Amino acid sequence: MWDHANQLFPICRSITGDGLRQTLGHLKKVIPKIEIKGIPSGQKIFDWTIPDEWNPKNAYMIGPDGEKIANFHENNLHLVSYSVPMHKRMSLSDLQSHLHSIVEKPDLIPYRTSYYKRDWGFCLPHRTRQNLKDGIYEIYIDSEIKPGVLNYGELLIPGQTEKEIMFSTYPCHPSLANDSLSGVVIALALAKNLMNRNDLYHSFRFLWTPETIGSLAWLDSNIGRAKEVIQAGFVLTCLGDDGPLSYMPSRKGKTLADRVITKMLYDNNLAFDSYSFNQRGSDERQFCHPNVDLPFASLMRSIYGEYEEYHTSGDDMGLLSPAALQESFNLYFRIIEMLEKNRVYKPMTIGEPQLGKRNLYANLSDSTLDEDEMVRFKILGYADGELDLISLSEIVDEPFDVVSSQVQILVDAQVLELVK
Amino acid sequence: MWDHANQLFPICRSITGDGLRQTLGHLKKVIPKIEIKGIPSGQKIFDWTIPDEWNPKNAYMIGPDGEKIANFHENNLHLVSYSVPMHKRMSLSDLQSHLHSIVEKPDLIPYRTSYYKRDWGFCLPHRTRQNLKDGIYEIYIDSEIKPGVLNYGELLIPGQTEKEIMFSTYPCHPSLANDSLSGVVIALALAKNLMNRNDLYHSFRFLWTPETIGSLAWLDSNIGRAKEVIQAGFVLTCLGDDGPLSYMPSRKGKTLADRVITKMLYDNNLAFDSYSFNQRGSDERQFCHPNVDLPFASLMRSIYGEYEEYHTSGDDMGLLSPAALQESFNLYFRIIEMLEKNRVYKPMTIGEPQLGKRNLYANLSDSTLDEDEMVRFKILGYADGELDLISLSEIVDEPFDVVSSQVQILVDAQVLELVK
Amino acid sequence: MWDHANQLFPICRSITGDGLRQTLGHLKKVIPKIEIKGIPSGQKIFDWTIPDEWNPKNAYMIGPDGEKIANFHENNLHLVSYSVPMHKRMSLSDLQSHLHSIVEKPDLIPYRTSYYKRDWGFCLPHRTRQNLKDGIYEIYIDSEIKPGVLNYGELLIPGQTEKEIMFSTYPCHPSLANDSLSGVVIALALAKNLMNRNDLYHSFRFLWTPETIGSLAWLDSNIGRAKEVIQAGFVLTCLGDDGPLSYMPSRKGKTLADRVITKMLYDNNLAFDSYSFNQRGSDERQFCHPNVDLPFASLMRSIYGEYEEYHTSGDDMGLLSPAALQESFNLYFRIIEMLEKNRVYKPMTIGEPQLGKRNLYANLSDSTLDEDEMVRFKILGYADGELDLISLSEIVDEPFDVVSSQVQILVDAQVLELVK
């Protein structure tokens, strides 16, 4: 993940264009089964329209003293995304309305876009901006905006059933590491891992699609089936820094996605900050929209909007660590394991089964049960053909994994049976 | 309101009779559309019977020293309501069982009635009673009890729909100001205000009817339709003093009447005391009766039974203030405004709408939303065609008025639409 | 109860055999209508099989110095229940795997059984065990295991309806007093009391049956009808010591059995420890099994497993007291009284009834209600044809008995009527 992130970081991505294609191409090299789709500019997507494609090649300003400023080749955040081509000279005062900086973060370049209104601009550290001298500036933007396609990558890993678990992430940001890119590479690693398995109960769908317009484009073609088959979905982003764990619930808050995230965190004794859906900020905005209503939630580290470097040049590879990426991967891996095992069981007996004859219970009573016996005893009290394993492990107050393995023993002993 | 209250205060009202008619006549002078109904004595009303009409003209006692005591013309509370006519002489000791006073409130005349059992009596301050000399007292009560009618006033202000909001108040107490009269004049002022409007969504019904027997009489003729059309109802009383706000819930506690009262108080940061339906004391006893079950609740100031002057001569115009009446009016006015706007909306889009093209969102991203944008963002996450505006504003944790005005902007922009 | 317990204590009971029959015979002498049933060994009971019958006659060990050890006639706990017959000599080291003691309770003989696997063994205080000398021991067990029957006692006391309240208890432990025997004698006393009444609304069923296999045997024949008629059931055990009250809920936790126990405790201001169904330990394991799902809960004193003497020779008659048995009886007696009165009522009027004409309300208003009037007032606000008396008394926050007697007054006055 760390290597992929390092290779992908420098590319200037946007919601369309060569940078996006190059990124998706990189993913496809790792997993050739990823399909790259393209939706033509101008196509209607619900309330939206696929925009023209944008391809930046170069951009900078030259100041009164001849120095190059806001050089796109030094940092692609310097150029407002979707800036139109431009070559002209203008005074600093005329230029000001096209400059963007953040007073409170004077050393960071902000990230700005203008996808749906033709505009142009440069982003730079506020300290740099303040030191700009009066005079005439040469503005140079070599970019192209013309009809093309919006691309996204999609991968379906079939399991034994059509029931789907879905992961969505957005490879549409330029050189930003934690927001966007961390999710892109973790999705890649999770997919790669699942590709190697032939025991999957669920089918797994991965989506690498531009935020908002890209997820809507996918929904436009898939919403009907998605509502039938998706059991739980997750937006992968903000997973690479060392910040606290953050949980963004679904709109309704009690979907399987919510339940598995919170149970996993609880079982692992992991502290986390819980947010409100009012604070949502990524593609759960589309997947949980009242008229879409898919069971999506999100587990992140430092959540979008809440960390100092968010949407600035500070969100670079220095913010990420291989260890944090790996831990995030591990957490989602546990979520997958739990979902795969999250079935419903019912008793095969009326009244308690006779465990002694199955060697699951000491034949000589001594009034105390060992740990496994105790967990099985609690399970047998509640497994009723309605509670799934997540609910069952909550009600017996034992870790999911412990309950799951003891349930398997009880199934093997023919005292519990799988319902669904 | 203050002037009306001053004019109405001296009248000796009861659940029937000239004082009640005079009061209703006063209201009809202000709003000629108020209809005065009359139900004849003897008519069966559910478990009750309309009593004979009572009309007191004069009453007093003359003591051993010739002094007039408990003079009805000085304070109509001196005479027990529904006292039969009487002119005789009796010793103080024989008289005692017909005298009423309150030991703990020695300077106040209590308010007593004997509607359904023929009786007579005088009420007086305990201090006066203690100073009565032994000897013979002349008792004089000039009153009339004979078949007549029970009157009530009713006003329907039609709106665009048959859905009704109802206000009930009881003009059946003699000279008591906060209990009873404050509600009578606030209902009058609210009705007058609503009469001047032609944009009402709901129809508004006002009822000035004697407590218990009068509200039952109205229910007897109207319960069927009432259960179909009434969305929320309020008993107006105890609204004129400077006491704390008091909330009396409906029996079930979560009707629209309850929700609008509590949300209005919350939005306005108003502290209030919350009571149990076990402590009910006015016509919510009838409107929320298990076999009636209308959505009635009540917002009061010092609640009946809980203030020192309740049901005594201390509950006079000195307890009221124009400012308190006005503030109570304002609170119910806000409740009406909220109810009028409390509609249900759903998204017109699948997925988020594109707000930028509607100038409802900055086209150049800068990661921060202004306040209005943030409220609209939160609304769009939850407006689902099921939540009414009260619930919606609770879930987005914003004031109702703020949500309501932003919803209107979203409706105008054709991203939300009215469901019901 | 105390006398019965003293007479029954010395008998060596097990889940089958003469000791069990002798115990049931004792009960039948007190209440001849108790039916003694017998299920033959080898019969399939759900997942179980009725075991062969076990009858111990004598058992002891003779040590190297000729002293008798672990003499069955001194304490029947010395012999592991269902020990096979045996007469042989063996060294102490070979013997050790057949000896049972508790390190932490060196002066107490543990209670051990081996119902379903042929085995033998002796239980003794750990202190005694430690002092055993090396050498050869003579082992003598005179017992018989052969096909027979499993017995249980059952009593139905018919009431006016087929709706049943059930009490189950287990007379299958050897000389243990609080666990097992306390429940046996309290069930006997409750049954005797109910036999003398001819006003019972519910039918009452009492079961004295061996734990687990015995209750399953009863369920095997009765589960269908039981699910139709049983309104509430209780497992009677651990009721004779001076420990704190303990409440074991049903699996789902809100059955009538749970509600009546907790309301009775609340009304009587009794502190109690509340356990989880995860900690269940007696026949609620069968009655509340997910595939059985009867409304059983249990009120105990020191709960099984939680008191020092549990399943040891310390649980003898010295642990019990007549006063504790009587108090436990009284608590269940109150539960029965509450269940008998726990009916549903609805108003006979629309709107409040006129209580004055029924002499249930002062005809001369004085604004204050006496206690009974206040309770009736609260009842009339909530009795709606749906709440049973337990729920009604919770919602008006009055003791069940107070509500019940005031409801009866309102029924007599024809303002409330019985619904079911």
**Per-residue confidence (pLDDT) for residue B366, from 0 to 100:** 67
User: Does B364 contact A291 at a Cβ distance shorter than 8 Å?
Assistant: no
Distance of residue B20 Cα from the nearest chain C Cα, in angstroms: 19
pLDDT-derived band of residue A353, with 50, 70 and 90 as boundaries? very high
- Nearest by Cα to B236 from B5, B396, B3: B5
The structure tokens listed for B373 are 């944008």
pLDDT tens figures, A40-77: 999 999 999 999 999 999 999 999 999 999 999 999 99
Length of chain A: 420
A74: CB partners within 8 A, 6+ apart:
none
- Residue among C48, C114, C289 whose CB faces A354 most closely: C48
User: Does B351 contact A292 at a Cβ distance shorter than 8 Å?
Assistant: yes
Residue of chain B minimizing CA distance to A116? B363
Rounded CA separation B243/B302 (Å): 5
Q: What is the DSSP string of B36-68?
A: EEEEETT-EETTEEPPPEEEEEEEEEE-TTS-E
Which of C209, C289, C306 to substitute to test the interface with A, most A CBs within 10 Å? C289
User: Is the pLDDT assigned to residue C332 strictly greater than 70?
Assistant: yes
Q: Greater confidence, B367 or C378?
A: C378
pLDDT tens figures, B107-127: 999 999 999 999 999 999 999
User: Does A117 contact B378 at a Cβ distance shorter than 8 Å?
Assistant: no
Q: Directed axis angle between helix C400-412 and helix C322-341, to 10°?
A: 30
Rounded CA separation C257/A370 (Å): 31
Q: Is B124 left (phi over 0), alpha (psi -120 to 50) or beta?
A: beta
Single-letter residue type at A348:
M
- Nearest by Cα to B75 from B10, B7, B140: B10
B158: CB partners within 8 A, 6+ apart:
B200, B203
**CA angle A260–A266–A272, rounded 5-degree value:** 95
**CA angle C79–C51–C230, rounded 5-degree value:** 110
Q: Which of residues 271-300 of A touch B (CB under 8 A)?
A: 277-278, 280, 285-286, 288-292
**Per-residue confidence (pLDDT) for residue C360, from 0 to 100:** 87
Give C357's DSSP letter: G
Distance of residue B8 Cα from the nearest chain A Cα, in angstroms: 52
CB-count exposure of residue C104 (10 Å: 0-12, 13-18, 19+): exposed
Q: What is the largest CA-CA distance in chain A?
A: 96
Q: Which chains touch A (3 or more CB pairs under 8 A)?
A: B, C
Distance of residue C254 Cα from the nearest chain B Cα, in angstroms: 21
pLDDT-derived band of residue A417, with 50, 70 and 90 as boundaries? very high
Which of A345, A348, A365 to substitute to test the interface with C, most C CBs within 10 Å? A365
Percentage with pLDDT > 70 across chain C? 99
Single-letter residue type at A3:
D
- Residue among C352, C383, C396 whose CB faces B278 most closely: C396
User: Is the pLDDT assigned to residue A367 strictly greater than 70?
Assistant: no
Which of B212, B289, B306, B308 to substitute to test the interface with C, most C CBs within 10 Å? B289
Q: Which of residues 343-382 of B touch C (CB under 8 A)?
A: none
- Residue among B47, B113, B119 whose CB faces C353 most closely: B47
CA distances from B176 to B59, B244, B321 (A): 19, 19, 14
User: Is the pLDDT assigned to residue B234 strictly greater than 80?
Assistant: yes
Q: How many CB atoms lie under 10 A from the CB of residue A134?
A: 9
Q: Which chains touch B (3 or more CB pairs under 8 A)?
A: A, C
* Residues in chain A within 8 Å Cβ distance of B363: 114, 116-117, 119
Q: Which of residues 102-131 of A touch B (CB under 8 A)?
A: 110-114, 116-117, 119, 121
User: Does C365 contact B114 at a Cβ distance shorter than 8 Å?
Assistant: yes
Residue of chain A minimizing CA distance to C310? A367
Q: What's the mean pLDDT in B70-99?
A: 97
User: Is the pLDDT assigned to residue A366 strictly greater than 90?
Assistant: no
Distance of residue B138 Cα from the nearest chain C Cα, in angstroms: 23
Residue identified by tokens 């806000």 is B334
Rounded CA separation B258/A344 (Å): 41
Q: Compute the Cα dihedral for B385, B390, B395, B398 and give only its sign.
A: positive
**Per-residue confidence (pLDDT) for residue B361, from 0 to 100:** 81
Q: Greater confidence, B235 or A370?
A: B235
**Per-residue confidence (pLDDT) for residue C310, from 0 to 100:** 95
pLDDT-derived band of residue B367, with 50, 70 and 90 as boundaries? low
Rounded CA separation A139/A59 (Å): 8
Distance of residue B172 Cα from the nearest chain C Cα, in angstroms: 14
pLDDT tens figures, B122-153: 999 999 999 999 999 999 999 999 999 999 99
**Per-residue confidence (pLDDT) for residue B409, from 0 to 100:** 97
- Residue among A113, A285, A288 whose CB faces B365 most closely: A113
pLDDT tens figures, C381-404: 999 999 999 999 999 999 999 999
CA distances from C67 to B87, B204, C132 (A): 109, 99, 11
**Per-residue confidence (pLDDT) for residue A359, from 0 to 100:** 87
What's the mean pLDDT when you consider all of chain A? 96
User: Does C112 contact A356 at a Cβ distance shorter than 8 Å?
Assistant: no
Q: Exposure pattern of A239-253 as b/e (b: 16+ CB <10 Å)?
A: bbbebebbbbbbbee
User: Is the pLDDT assigned to residue A238 strictly greater than 70?
Assistant: yes
Give C315's DSSP letter: S
Residue of chain C minimizing CA distance to B223? C350
* Residues in chain B within 8 Å Cβ distance of A110: 366-367
- Nearest by Cα to B158 from B106, B205, B117, B193: B205
User: Is the pLDDT assigned to residue B368 strictly greater than 80?
Assistant: no
Distance of residue C103 Cα from the nearest chain A Cα, in angstroms: 13
Q: Across B170-323, where does the E strand assignment appear?
A: 203-208, 230-235, 245-248, 272-274, 296-300
pLDDT-derived band of residue C246, with 50, 70 and 90 as boundaries? very high
Rounded CA separation B115/B174 (Å): 14
Q: What's the mean pLDDT in A325-351?
A: 98
- Nearest by Cα to A342 from A288, A271, A264, A284: A264
* Residues in chain A within 8 Å Cβ distance of C112: 364-366
User: Does B290 contact C383 at a Cβ distance shorter than 8 Å?
Assistant: yes
**Per-residue confidence (pLDDT) for residue C365, from 0 to 100:** 72
Beta partners for residue C91, in sequence order = C136
pLDDT tens figures, A159-193: 999 999 999 999 999 999 999 999 999 999 999 99
Q: How many CB atoms lie under 10 A from the CB of residue C254?
A: 12
Residue identified by tokens 């008006």 is C396
User: Does A365 contact C112 at a Cβ distance shorter than 8 Å?
Assistant: yes
The structure tokens listed for B163 are 């859905």
C225: CB partners within 8 A, 6+ apart:
none
- Residue among C364, C366, C381 whose CB faces B277 most closely: C381
Residue of chain B minimizing CA distance to A215? B351
CA distances from C168 to B200, C151, C196 (A): 65, 14, 20
What is the CA C244 to chain-centroid distance, rounded? 16
**Per-residue confidence (pLDDT) for residue C367, from 0 to 100:** 61
- Nearest by Cα to B246 from B217, B279, B218, B223: B279
User: Does C352 contact B114 at a Cβ distance shorter than 8 Å?
Assistant: no
Beta partners for residue C40, in sequence order = C149
Q: What's the mean pLDDT in B16-43?
A: 98
Residue of chain A minimizing CA distance to B379? A278
Distance of residue C356 Cα from the nearest chain B Cα, in angstroms: 8
* Residues in chain A within 8 Å Cβ distance of C116: 354, 356-357, 363
User: Does A116 contact B383 at a Cβ distance shorter than 8 Å?
Assistant: no
User: Does B47 contact C363 at a Cβ distance shorter than 8 Å?
Assistant: no
Rounded CA separation B91/B80 (Å): 19
Q: Which of residues 308-347 of A touch C (CB under 8 A)?
A: 346-347
User: Is the pLDDT assigned to residue B159 strictly greater than 90?
Assistant: yes
Distance of residue A201 Cα from the nearest chain C Cα, in angstroms: 27
CA distances from C218 to B65, C13, C232 (A): 89, 19, 17
Give A341's DSSP letter: H
User: Does B251 contact C378 at a Cβ distance shorter than 8 Å?
Assistant: no
User: Does B350 contact A277 at a Cβ distance shorter than 8 Å?
Assistant: no
Q: What's the mean pLDDT in A3-14?
A: 97
**Per-residue confidence (pLDDT) for residue C157, from 0 to 100:** 98
pLDDT tens figures, B393-415: 999 999 999 999 999 999 999 99
User: Is the pLDDT assigned to residue A287 strictly greater than 90?
Assistant: yes
Q: What's the mean pLDDT in C113-117?
A: 93
Which of C349, C373, C377 to substitute to test the interface with B, most B CBs within 10 Å? C349
Percentage with pLDDT > 90 across chain B? 96
User: Does C350 contact B292 at a Cβ distance shorter than 8 Å?
Assistant: yes
Residue of chain A minimizing CA distance to C110? A366
Rg (C-alpha) for chain B, rounded Å, is: 26
Rounded CA separation C8/C27 (Å): 10
pLDDT tens figures, C337-380: 999 999 999 999 999 999 989 988 877 776 678 899 999 999 99
User: Does A396 contact C223 at a Cβ distance shorter than 8 Å?
Assistant: no
**CA angle B322–B323–B328, rounded 5-degree value:** 100
Contact indicator for C294, C227 with CB cutoff of 8 Å: yes
User: Does B366 contact A112 at a Cβ distance shorter than 8 Å?
Assistant: yes
pLDDT tens figures, C142-163: 999 999 999 999 999 999 999 9
